Amino acid sequence: MELSGEQYRRVLNREAVAVTKRDQKRGGSYRVKEALDALHLAFHRSDGRDPYDGLPMNARSLFPSASGGMSSLRCPAVGHRQQSPVADFEVLSQQTRQAKGAMTGEDYLTHCQAVVDHAKQMGRV
């Protein structure tokens, strides 16, 4: 993703603190340093693309001054790779994250088609 070193450090720190606090409320017992390391690996694993649909994410939308807000559907978001509150994360787009929740039927179908197309390109289907 196109982030400067300083921007990347700020994003990592902000996300690590947020997920650690949230997961501690859900019974998680890892520390912020563990979250930082796991998030760093997740960002590198993503290579700037959503792991489900393969489309690029827009890291600039993480910074309101550069994008006019954080509402971009292609904005990177952090999610757990497992259900349990452990320091094992993936970086996916807001669009994919929303697909797991509230989305219009048409938007959801469009997104699902992108996931299928990507799986075909990767030889998974």
Average pLDDT score, the chain: 86
How many domains, in total, are found in the chain?
A: 1
Query: What is the residue type of 104?
Result: T
Quote the domain boundaries for residue 53.
5-121
Q: What's this model's pTM, rounded to 2 decimal places?
A: 0.77
| pLDDT band (50, 70, 90) for residue 32 | very high
Q: How far apart are CA 23 and CA 83, in angstroms?
A: 11
Mean pLDDT of 31-55: 94
Q: Which two tokens stand for residue 103?
A: 């989305």
Q: Which two tokens stand for residue 3?
A: 């982030």
Q: Which two tokens stand for residue 15?
A: 């996300």
pLDDT for res 116: 92
Q: How far apart are CA 63 and CA 68, in angstroms?
A: 8
Would you say 77 and 52 are in contact if contact means Cβ atoms under 8 Å apart?
Answer: no
Mean pLDDT of 8-16: 94
| pLDDT band (50, 70, 90) for residue 64 | low
Q: Which two tokens stand for residue 71?
A: 């509402």
